[in-house]
Structure 1
């Protein structure tokens, strides 16, 4: 799933490539992707693109006061096309969900596609006059790169939960997902199963500093990259996430995994849990 750094990079990509252009035809290949009907998607046509920004993990393009907002979910992505086909896509064929055509001041006619891999279709698109009309944006907590240390401590104190759970709860903190929470916890040398209400001030400091460093470094690394390269760059920057069975680059211990529901997370026992191997829902207790 694209998280704060990737969505920030996509917003910057749109600011570079789409701002100043005029929206042309909008092709809807999967009606299920549209979560609003008023204003209609056709209301975007003919509008100037005046900005692009991020709200948590939502990507928003400002079309002169009318917003096209998307949440890419787990399998969604944005693909830029310099020379798109003039023929509208056939609905229900392949991963394409939505295509937005542009007319640039230089006379070019690029487009971007919103695509979604896999069979579970969760990519969502809204057209709104105010981003706060999107329920997911209205519920967002403070942004992970804008929250102060004092606010961060207050956020953690509002709920007694595992740190892993708290970091990915968008109503508490906006922008962090499964992958970067793994990286943050590894950098902070903290167990994913530690409880937020039991953290000492020093531990909160360590977690806050790790979050700022990991996200800032990822944004710096990704912003300016072509949209097609962002996924690969994200994977290349990971130290524990999606590296189950591989050596930890810090201590050399084997990276372990905990699986639950539809997801999993990774951690290093030596760096984060004093050598203990955590049990997941397939087991009943900590392995000794």
Structure 2
């Protein structure tokens, strides 16, 4: 599943390569990914030129000269800049451009392609619930978000309505860098620990963003990201030595998900 490093790097690339392109036609293979009837969706996009591409959490925001195209890859997928003669095997949506290129969008599961009018973002039922982008938060911001909260730390960090962009791929290393157990009670955190957590979020996400995201996700041209398993500190490395103390990394259950921790560096107390 693409998370903030992958989405942010895709937004950066799309902003560079799609800026100014005019959408000449729209082909929809999977209507259920839309928020509008096919004809209405096509009519809204056709003739629009692309102003800018940004992101919020796991959503791509394609700003058109008349409204917004919002893309969410859900559990995974690809957005490829190709031609009609080089389309991938699977796609759910195609945006054609006058120069013969096209944007092929594929969702594996639960993806979305929504059109929103210019002033409609605050009314979009999914977007309006998103918390701030994880990389936009400093330590003071994080303290305010955590103040008065109860529950466990990992659940809070994965809640997109609290902080947008962190998912299961990066949460393990973020908590390891902060030396915090995923089941720590939020109300037990000290100001110093929150500052460490803030720094860990920045380090854990930016390290991948600088390498255009994870190796299992591809960019507009089908090239894989450069963030590999060698860059991961403890996530998905059960039984391997902790990079700090050499204690074997453990896999534990944390609610409905699993977590990878160093039991020495991340004690639960």
Given the two structures, how large is their TM-score scaled by the length of structure 1? 0.81
Distance 1:243 1:131 in 2: 40
Structure 1 ranges of 4+ moved more than 6 A: none
**More moved, 194-203 vs 68-77:** 68-77
Q: Which residue of 2 aligns with 1:183?
A: 173
Aligned length: 261
Cα–Cα, structure 1 residues 259 and 150, in superposed 2: closer, same or farther, change >3 Å?
Answer: same
User: More deviation in 262-271 or 172-181?
Assistant: 262-271
Correspondence for 1:97 among 92, 98, 103 = 92
Per-residue deviation at 1:189? 1.1
Match of 1:134 in 2: 124
Matching residue of 2:154: 164
Q: Which residue of structure 2 lines up, in the alignment, with residue 281 of structure 1?
A: none
Offset of 1:56 from its aligned partner?
A: 1.5
Q: 1:126 touches 1:134 (CA, 8 Å); kept in 2?
A: no
Distance (whole Å) between structure 2 residues aligned to residue 69 and residue 243 of structure 1: 35
Aligned CA RMSD, in angstroms, stands at: 2.6
1:110 aligns with 2:101: yes
Q: Deviations over 1:49-78 (max 9, x none)?
A: 111000121111112132110111112332
TM-score normalised by L of structure 2: 0.86
Mapped to 2, the partners of 1:191 and 1:262 lie a distance apart of 16
Deviations 1:224-270 (A, max 9, x none): x9443345636553222233333333333332223467643322223
Aligned to 2:18: 18
- Evaluate the alpha carbon distance shift between residue 28 and residue 262 of structure 1 in structure 2; reply closer, same or farther with a 3 A threshold: farther
- Give the structure 2 partner of residue 69 of structure 1: 70
| Deviation sequence 1:28-58 (CA, Å, 0-9, x none) | 1111111234952332112111110001211
Give the conservation status (yes or no) of the 8 Å contact 2:139–2:198: yes
Distance 1:256 1:99, change over 3 A: farther
Contact 2:20 2:49 in 1 (8 A): yes
Distance 2:9 2:16 in 1: 11
8 Å Cα contact 1:69-1:131 kept in structure 2: no
Which ranges in structure 2 are unaligned for 5 or more consecutive residues? none
Give the CA deviation at 1:188: 0.8
- Of residues 201, 210, 215, the one that matches 2:200 is 210
Are 1:79 and 1:112, in contact at CA under 8 Å, matched by a contact in 2? Answer: yes
